[in-house]
Structure 1
Amino acid sequence: MEKDGWRVSVHTGSGRIWSRHGKELTRAFSDVAEAARALPDCLLDGELLAVTEAGEISFGRLQTRAGRGPKPGADFAVHVAAFDVLAVGDRTDCRPRRYGERRATLLELLEGGPPQIRPVPTTTDIEEALSWIGALGGVEGVVSKPDRPYAASRTASGWLKWRKRHTLDVAVLGVTGTSPATQALVLGLPSPRGALRAVGVGLPLSAALRHQLAGLLDPQGGGARSELPGTVGGLPGAPPVSYLPVRPEVVVEIEADQPAASEFGRFRHRPRVVRVREDLAVDELPVTS
């Protein structure tokens, strides 16, 4: 099962938490770190989730913790959805074991532990797994794991993902990337004040789309590059996004895992550009709040 949070490693013995990219998050999530220390000494692979009082998952609330830490009176709590166990103590490396063994160890370690750190539910029934999407407080997709040793990279792990997808139309504000293979679009939508605001950075463009857009995009600002905060194209703490601004005259259709850019006014994950909408003008796009 996949929800919308931050992938982390949790060392219960020391109560330390790291992001997927190695950034330490222990201070910002000190309540989770304290709960982790109540468990047997192990290294968990999981995801931080902000759960509201109504039981919904909120990525936006999770972001408010970045660099701050717990806030008294908040209307949400942070939990860890544990996917896997990588090690037990300082001598037992669980990664060479098959997933079924690691899963059994994970359940044993978390049995009777703090409610903030629980294992994700699993099933071998595909229909049941697909029924979870959009349910259970905000499941955005499911992951299929083979019964094999742990692999850190997704390409080597053999994982398969299913996500619910949405399509919508957005304006092109610029182009990122330093080579054709890395070129991607800065995407924008109209704000209530009438100006276009950046809501995300797309995935790298296909060769066919790059060729089609080459004759449609018109650079502005004398070819000088600009920057956007890293949060527009990634998670908090990501480096700024350098891009070449273009005249906002082209509309593209994108496929995203959200029906709108609702989390802090941006898309949580990079959308995929599906096609150019030469039949639409930028001033026909809906205004976003």
Structure 2
Amino acid sequence: MPKAPKTETTSGVVPFDLPVELALARPVTEVPPEAPGRWFEPKVDGWRCCLRTGRDARLFSRHGTDLSQAFSDIVAAAAGLPDAVLDGELLAVRPDGTLAFGLLQTRAGGRGPRPREGFQTQIAAFDLLAEGSRDLRALPLGERRAGLLAVLPAGGAIWPLPTTDSPDQAKGWFGSLGGGIEGCVVKSSARPYRGGHRSDWLKYRVKDSVSAVILGITPAATPASQSAVLGLPGSDGRLRAVGVSLPLPAALRAHLATRLRPTGRGLAELPGTVGGLPGSAPVRYQPVEPTTVVDIEVDAGQQEYGRYRHRPRVLRLRADLEANDLAPR
């Protein structure tokens, strides 16, 4: 879907142009301890979004893509709320209440709700950026939170994410909703809202997983044996190969087949240390345009030559991320 241009909203009520730059959290490896003014929110497994509520309701992805048509059910629910701008996570919720990240992708390409699609879309909102014509981003988070609770009614498809000042309670959320709570986000109740990496938010993920870019696909005797060459940005921002995945699952191969674009060059080669232990045979692969991001499950550390000790497992496609979203490692 094309990205929406930054133009003024039609009613003139919202005090800034949409879409707006959203705050980003910095990954941490441990849950921070309890501290005055510090609170914790569950990290829910969805697509980050910006939602304008009220009569001119619109839904945007983190990158500014207009999702209003694809998620017209959310837009309809938002139209009944006061004029405001919310930051939150777009969720696919199964009938049993568990979250299903992959089902969000079925709406890609502008498809709206379909009969018997087997899930409901919801928004877990965690910040209020504007209310009516007031820009609230300079206010402390505690005040924005109070406004958020006042704007959102109970029991709707758009609901406020819970918070706690107890790290132990936050850890109790981990793994709930069918594994849809994958960690927590840590914030200061006294801080204003700052877009991008200027935010002081911290993000802890329980699973030892990271997002990586697919740099190429290894040739194989059968499709079931195909693996992905994975890359991460280094300290200079350039992508570097960090591992070769385990064979890709069939369902994931089907998704990737429509997204991966060969570079047109012939087979490339990497040192064997990228795909195995020192002394392993070189890794040959077909390079692809480095635009497709996936989540991978990895071991906790890396060898000093900059690759994963064991072959990562590709968990899923991240259609909501771009290669330049990945932080240097």
Q: Which residue of 1 aligns with 2:240?
A: 184
Does the 8 Å contact 1:8/1:20 carry over to 2?
yes
| Distance across 2 between alignment mates of 1:218 and 1:38 | 59
Q: CA deviation at 1:234?
A: 5.1
Amino acid at match of 1:188: S
Query: How many percent identity over aligned positions?
Result: 38
| Distance across 1 between alignment mates of 2:96 and 2:161 | 19
- Superposed, which structure 2 residues align to 1:19-168 within 5 Å? 19-67=61-109, 68-89=111-132, 91-112=133-154, 115-137=156-178, 138-147=180-189, 148-153=191-196, 155-166=197-208
Match of 1:174 among 225, 229, 241: 229
2:53 is the counterpart of 1:12: yes
Q: Which residue of 2 aligns with 1:279?
A: none
Amino acid at match of 2:229: G
| Distance across 1 between alignment mates of 2:199 and 2:68 | 27
Amino acid at match of 2:169: E
Q: CA deviation at 1:268?
A: 9.2
| Distance across 2 between alignment mates of 1:4 and 1:128 | 19
Amino acid at match of 1:115: G
Question: CA 1:150/1:267 → structure 2, altered by over 3 Å: closer, same or farther?
Answer: closer
Q: CA deviation at 1:263?
A: 3.8
1:72-129 superposed Cα distances (whole Å, 9 cap, x missing partner): 112100000001000011x2010000000000000000034x6100000101111001
Number of residue-to-residue matches in the alignment: 236
Amino acid at match of 2:238: T
Q: Which residue of 2 aligns with 1:218?
A: 282
Q: CA deviation at 1:8?
A: 0.6
1:201-248 superposed Cα distances (whole Å, 9 cap, x missing partner): xxxxxxxxx996498673647xx74347x5x4159xxxxxxxxxxxxx
TM-score (norm: length of structure 2):
0.60
1:160-210 superposed Cα distances (whole Å, 9 cap, x missing partner): 22211247xx997436589864223364322589xx9989xxxxxxxxxx9
Question: CA 1:62/1:124 → structure 2, altered by over 3 Å: closer, same or farther?
Answer: same
Q: Which residue of 2 aligns with 1:233?
A: 293
Local SS of the residue matching 1:65: helix
| Distance across 1 between alignment mates of 2:274 and 2:249 | 28
Question: CA 1:177/1:191 → structure 2, altered by over 3 Å: closer, same or farther?
Answer: closer
Amino acid at match of 2:192: P
Does the 8 Å contact 2:105/2:319 carry over to 1?
no
Q: Which residue of 2 aligns with 1:244?
A: none
**Structure with bigger RCO (C-alpha 8 Å, 6+ apart):** 2
Does the 8 Å contact 1:172/1:251 carry over to 2?
no
Amino acid at match of 1:149: P
Give the 4+ runs in structure 1 shifted more than 4 A: 170-173, 175-181, 196-199, 210-217, 266-272
| Distance across 1 between alignment mates of 2:59 and 2:320 | 21
Does the 8 Å contact 1:9/1:43 carry over to 2?
yes
Does the 8 Å contact 1:9/1:46 carry over to 2?
yes
Does the 8 Å contact 2:274/2:283 carry over to 1?
no
TM-score (norm: length of structure 1):
0.68
Local SS of the residue matching 2:164: coil
| Distance across 2 between alignment mates of 1:16 and 1:261 | 33
Does the 8 Å contact 1:50/1:78 carry over to 2?
yes
Does the 8 Å contact 1:87/1:93 carry over to 2?
yes
Amino acid at match of 1:83: F
CA RMSD of superposed structures (Å): 4.1
